[in-house]
Amino acid sequence: MTRELVVAIVGRPNVGKSTLFNRMVGGRPALVHDTPGVTRDRRYGALEYEGRSIRVIDTGGLDPDARHEAIGAGIHRQAELAMHEADAVVFVVDAVSGPTPVDRELAARLRKIGRPIIVAANKVDHVKREVLAGEAYELGLGEVFPISAMHGRGLEEMMDALLARLPPAEAPPAPSATDEDEVGEDGAGEPAGEEGRPRRRKGPLRVALVGKPNVGKSSLLNRLVGTERSLVHDAPGTTTDPVDTPFSYGGRDYVLVDTAGIRRRARIDADTEKLSVSLALGQIERADVVVLVIDAAGGASEQDARLAGLIEDSGRAVVVALNKSDLLSGSGAGKKVMAATADELHFLGWARRVLISALRGDGLGGLLDAVDKAGGQHRRRIATSELNRFFADVCEQYPPTSRGGKLVTVHYLTQGGVEPPTFLLWANRADLVDDTYRRFVVNQLRARYGFAGTPIRVVVKAKAGSKPARGRRGARRRSR
């Protein structure tokens, strides 16, 4: 089987590591800003090059003078973990400023880790600047590759050299007849039945941890994966960039994403924090399931309700994690917090709430169980025949009301999509079916099929060829 190769990008602050990471993996998955120290955790991206699968790790800027500070020490730990995990290391230096004492100290450390090293002299955006890259040879790490991460200049040569230093590819496995999607209730391995069980997609479930600053998102991620994958500190705003972490539990695969704490807009001042919040909101759109982390000791706030509204609008599946249960005291405190949260987030009543402690590990099995079920319901599709039987009964008992003397006739209901489950309500006059009746249909679908953990969309469509009814008197005249 061909093994995925791992490459770590390291260097001092502000030499262009995240820009190189983005150029290699495509898109803008890492936060790029001219403020040193923006990248703090290690982030993962993937690319295919010359038929090889390569996993790239972006790391925080290494500054020996900051090692004695809490955040600086955490950045160094994250980078050290990345270097020891990698098959090869790309050491990025600034060709314009030339090697610094920090670069020299980092070079000495890199020589000791026993990994192939590629020196990338960045910011060589013109042929006239290539001569500047020559100064990096004094670091004693071998050949230097002049590149421009911003413009992509010199990256092909660097990638070719990197591939030559990586372990050789192994033979790919023979195709297996069992490599098909498994299907089942909550996406867990049974054939899809008439009741509309969800089809499990290939690949891991993408789970974004979202919440206000300092509610314990990074602590929760670290507790789940069993290591310091995200930098944890008691200063709000420690996490700036979304951090992807592959993770397995109980035979299921996940990608956990820790995101920056989202504050009220009026309190977002720094440019880097604005970018961090923008990236965090983008992770909501990319996620299969969003875990909204709330401080149980403080209770759900107005800002938590705003975040819940953003998540619902995005159409993502949701689980509410009430963290810091270890700080609750008094008889029935947990039940009171759960009830208060249900009241504050009343519009999210379909989302499961789980009381947890990232510090002690309480409730994490229940949290992942809720995530799995929400992800399965998010992909759930109801068989058309079953849906027709169900909706015929609904329409017979509760037909839509007439408006302005005009009859509203609902013909049938179909499921138009999943993620979230989306239903098309076909009527003679789409403009006369109001929000109240749409909400009624959603409630009936939940009462019959559950759909716990996922929003439901109902879209009213006008049936082709349908003539608007003119009311009872008009109908009698036409029948004569």
236 has a pLDDT exceeding 60: no
| Maximum mean pLDDT: which of 196-200, 239-243, 375-379 | 375-379
198 has a pLDDT exceeding 80: no
d(CA 377, CA 416): 15
Q: In 296-430, where does DSSP find H-type helix?
A: 302-314, 333-344, 364-378, 384-397
Work out the average pLDDT over 83-89.
81
Amino acid at 161: A
d(CA 265, CA 220): 25
Q: Which domains does the chain have, with CATH numbers?
A: 5-165 (3.40.50.300), 199-377 (3.40.50.300), 384-479 (3.30.300.20)
d(CA 203, CA 265): 35
Backbone φ and ψ of 288, nearest 5° = -85, -45
pLDDT at 42: 54
User: What confidence category does residue 33 fall into, taking pLDDT thresholds of 50, 70 and 90?
Assistant: very low
Q: Which of 44-53, 109-118, 333-342 has the lowest mean pLDDT?
A: 44-53
> Could you tell me how far CA 5 lies from the centroid of its own chain?
23
340 has a pLDDT exceeding 90: yes
Please provide the average confidence, as pLDDT, over all residues in the chain: 75
**Model confidence pLDDT, tens digit, residues 88-101:** 889 999 999 899 98
Is the bond preceding residue 420 a cis peptide, omega within 30 degrees? yes
181 has a pLDDT exceeding 80: no
Backbone φ and ψ of 353, nearest 5° = -110, 135
pLDDT at 277: 44
Q: How many residues does the chain have?
A: 480
pLDDT at 421: 93
**Number of Cβ within a 10 Å radius of residue 354:** 22
pLDDT at 404: 62
pLDDT at 27: 53
**Model confidence pLDDT, tens digit, residues 246-298:** 778 888 888 887 665 444 444 444 444 444 444 446 667 778 999 999 999 88
User: What confidence category does residue 51 fall into, taking pLDDT thresholds of 50, 70 and 90?
Assistant: confident
The answer to whether 227 and 240 are in contact (CB under 8 A) is: no
Strands laid side by side in the 352-355 sheet: 243-249, 252-258, 205-211, 289-295, 317-323, 352-355
Work out the average pLDDT over 93-110.
88
Residue 139 tokens read as 């670091």
Closest CA to 8 of 123, 100, 85: 85
User: What confidence category does residue 68 fall into, taking pLDDT thresholds of 50, 70 and 90?
Assistant: very low
pLDDT at 450: 92
d(CA 172, CA 192): 31
pLDDT at 65: 54
195 has a pLDDT exceeding 70: no
Work out the average pLDDT over 441-446.
92
187 has a pLDDT exceeding 60: no
Per-residue burial over 384-422, b = 16 or more CB atoms within 10 Å of its CB, e = otherwise: eeebeebbeebbeeeebeeeeeebbbbeebbbeebbbbb
Q: Is the dihedral of CA 77, 80, 84, 88 positive or negative?
A: positive
